[in-house]
A and B are shown apart, each in its own frame.
Chain A
């Protein structure tokens, strides 16, 4: 492995200048209602002979090509582009009702609004479920109704039981550099070149935008999610599927697991509405609104009087401060207020911002 001596920098694969992290999609259960763990569609066990040969010969190349071509079409339909803010990554649908596996650095957090773009360009609304910020694993649920194409996932719960071995021929898909309908998701072939506890490495060459996209064995069984790359082209890192199995229920419930580095947990007490208030008889009167804050963008103005927060009456500034202590960026609060002209009382749901 002489190339490795020149390896320099691990890079995340999100297609964004702002966000520095890797992306992956969560696997959807076939029987979401009852399953304790993801139900696996009859997992393929037929192991192609060429995987157990060290190096292929000319005949094996034909066999590899044949299987790859047969597998790629069905799994491509389930490979999606994920758009969030200014960034984009990839993901893969793993259940008929639209559960998506991706990377934590793509979903970036819990309960975030995202857009999922199918191969044909059709867009669906989606919401991020839980994530594992240490291993770069995350789940997303498509919230628009539909019946979605999905892939089969590797059933093994641990690395030791995995059906893939070092040297196996594998392929990757992903929306490199963002969605491009004319191009479609890019197909790349490689071998499984390194296996570690929470990471597998391949020489399927990845780039920004592929983050969260699927890595398949040659039969089209999902074995990993793209996470990050090194400077050398055969350093492409993926999250193995057993990491998803380990945290399946927690992620499905929307838990934020771990302390990074692939996603940052919002910190309580750092959320921000963007208003200054003073005490008046009926409640708290707004005296100033910060430019570009959530209040600035909402239908609330200087002079309006806040009477309730989350349904509880407010009389002192401390009443707001006490509520905000427990809130993090992205949390929601409901304000009840009287318009400046006194005409009506309004309820306003606000998604809290960052100072």
Chain B
């Protein structure tokens, strides 16, 4: 009953766990007439012969993208921002939960290859959790920075090219198109205070409904029933106000919270912790679309602005430049959301955040 032979050679009868879809398709007897009607793998979207058409873009990735390694395993790519070794990359792939302390920690043994040169020492200079971007630095002088595209609007259907698989010496390309409207990608904020909130109907503040275990809120001793009056020096009456403030914070930041308990006003500093320190980082498929997608980026949503593209990639291939056919970066490739949807932070925002992060680096 290997009935899907006629469309997908490799689908074996073992796949009949989902048998409803392949059983009973009546046309198996027609196989001979169409036996040869299959396009060679080399000619498919990311086949070698199609890849060859993107040699100009590949040459740019060769010199203006960085391969980021944890020891000898590549974990992502980066965008060369300056001749002296500033690299813009995806932040979350640089961190992992420490097995003992359960703290989100910079991965050890990070090193970088640019073109064919390995840099054994790499420093994390700055990071921004809201946009999931970070600046790495290697010690060098002669790199070729990426050229960013001017346009802020990129038409759907525009070819985009980013890093595919790599060897130590040679970068390869992955190609696709801009697939949908640029927009905010909503999702859980990656830092967490650890409270459930509800507006007081009389507008007098925001009530604590719940305090999450191991959160900064719990450590600070805030309790269910307390009413937040002031958050980070702002008078608050709506939970959205608090959420908007948290959105712009970094992990490890403290906020001062003023709250009413019975008839006393109390004041406490509370730590904003990485969400995964509190909730764990087990990446479980959320729905059937995840199940059919394979691996996706651990951080794949909660981006204030993103382009969507259809490049067929794996999570370890994000962080590099997203080029147009002219070889200019229209964005930085930021996440594989599922098999059909990937995201990139647009050129304008990526450059802005880069500049803002530079300002946070101590001289």
A residues whose Cβ falls under 8 Å from a Cβ of B: 1-12, 15-17, 20-22, 54-58, 60-62, 64-65, 68-69, 72, 134-135, 159, 166-167, 171, 176-177, 182-199, 201, 203-210, 228-235, 237, 258-262
22 contacts between A and B (CB under 8 A): A7-B12, A9-B17, A20-B18, A20-B20, A55-B49, A65-B158, A177-B289, A183-B181, A186-B308, A187-B157, A187-B310, A188-B176, A195-B37, A196-B6, A198-B25, A207-B292, A229-B292, A230-B8, A234-B45, A237-B8, A258-B26, A259-B24
Point out the residues of chain B lying under 8 angstroms from A228, CB to CB: 21
Output the residue of B20, B56, B287, B294 with the most chain A CB within 10 A. B20
Q: Name the residue on A nearest B183 (C-beta).
A: A182
Question: Which of A57, A171, A186, A194 is in CB contact (< 8 Å) with B53?
Answer: A57
Question: With an 8 A cutoff between CB atoms, is B234 at the interface?
Answer: no
Contact yes or no, B34 A189, CB < 8 A: no
A206 with B157, Cβ < 8 A, contacts A54-B49, A188-B310 known? no
Point out the residues of chain A lying under 8 angstroms from B180, CB to CB: 183-187
Contact yes or no, A197 B177, CB < 8 A: no
Point out the residues of chain A lying under 8 angstroms from B11, CB to CB: 7-10, 230, 235
Point out the residues of chain B lying under 8 angstroms from A9, CB to CB: 11, 15, 17-18, 292
A300–B56 alpha-carbon span in the complex (Å): 74
Known contacts A207-B339, A233-B312, A261-B21; can you find 7 more A-B pairs with CB under 8 A? A1-B40, A22-B21, A55-B47, A177-B341, A188-B177, A201-B7, A260-B20
Contact yes or no, A10 B4, CB < 8 A: yes
Contact yes or no, A166 B157, CB < 8 A: no
Q: Name the residue on B nearest A208 (C-beta).
A: B289
Question: With an 8 A cutoff between CB atoms, is B108 at the interface?
Answer: no
Contact yes or no, A12 B21, CB < 8 A: yes
- Minimal beta-carbon separation of B305 from chain A (angstroms): 11
A258–B54 alpha-carbon span in the complex (Å): 46
Question: With an 8 A cutoff between CB atoms, is B55 at the interface?
Answer: yes
Contact yes or no, B39 A192, CB < 8 A: yes
- Minimal beta-carbon separation of B16 from chain A (angstroms): 9
Contact yes or no, A58 B7, CB < 8 A: no
A159–B27 alpha-carbon span in the complex (Å): 13
A65 with B18, Cβ < 8 A, contacts A55-B53, A183-B308, A189-B176 known? no
Question: With an 8 A cutoff between CB atoms, is B340 at the interface?
Answer: yes
Interface secondary structure of A, over-half rule? loop
Contact yes or no, A193 B38, CB < 8 A: yes
Question: Which of A196, A198, A207 is in CB contact (< 8 Å) with B338?
Answer: A207
Contact yes or no, B39 A191, CB < 8 A: yes
Question: With an 8 A cutoff between CB atoms, is B155 at the interface?
Answer: yes
**What are the 7 tightest A-B residue pairs by CB atom distance, in nearest-first order?**
A4-B10, A7-B10, A55-B49, A197-B30, A1-B41, A195-B37, A207-B340
Question: With an 8 A cutoff between CB atoms, is B52 at the interface?
Answer: yes
A192–B43 alpha-carbon span in the complex (Å): 10
Contact yes or no, B34 A195, CB < 8 A: yes
- Minimal beta-carbon separation of B4 from chain A (angstroms): 6
A203 with B45, Cβ < 8 A, contacts A65-B325, A69-B156, A197-B30 known? yes
Question: Which of B34, B40, B50, B181 is in CB contact (< 8 Å) with A184?
Answer: B181
A230–B8 alpha-carbon span in the complex (Å): 8
- Minimal beta-carbon separation of B38 from chain A (angstroms): 5
Point out the residues of chain B lying under 8 angstroms from A57, CB to CB: 53
Q: Name the residue on B nearest A67 (C-beta).
A: B157
Point out the residues of chain A lying under 8 angstroms from B359, CB to CB: none
Point out the residues of chain A lying under 8 angstroms from B47, CB to CB: 55
Point out the residues of chain A lying under 8 angstroms from B15, CB to CB: 7-10
Question: With an 8 A cutoff between CB atoms, is B184 at the interface?
Answer: yes
Question: With an 8 A cutoff between CB atoms, is B22 at the interface?
Answer: yes
Contact yes or no, B7 A188, CB < 8 A: no
Contact yes or no, A55 B6, CB < 8 A: no
Contact yes or no, B179 A188, CB < 8 A: yes
A7–B15 alpha-carbon span in the complex (Å): 9
A196 with B7, Cβ < 8 A, contacts A20-B21, A184-B181 known? yes
Considering only residues 276-296 of chain B, those with a C-beta below 8 Å from chain A are: 287-289, 291-294
Point out the residues of chain A lying under 8 angstroms from B37, CB to CB: 166, 194-196
Q: Name the residue on A nearest B51 (C-beta).
A: A55
A228–B155 alpha-carbon span in the complex (Å): 28
Contact yes or no, B8 A4, CB < 8 A: yes
Contact yes or no, A182 B184, CB < 8 A: yes
Contact yes or no, A261 B39, CB < 8 A: no
Point out the residues of chain A lying under 8 angstroms from B158, CB to CB: 65, 69
- Minimal beta-carbon separation of A229 from chain B (angstroms): 6
Question: With an 8 A cutoff between CB atoms, is B265 at the interface?
Answer: no
Contact yes or no, A166 B39, CB < 8 A: yes
Point out the residues of chain A lying under 8 angstroms from B31, CB to CB: 196
A313–B25 alpha-carbon span in the complex (Å): 46
Question: With an 8 A cutoff between CB atoms, is B159 at the interface?
Answer: yes
Contact yes or no, A206 B179, CB < 8 A: no
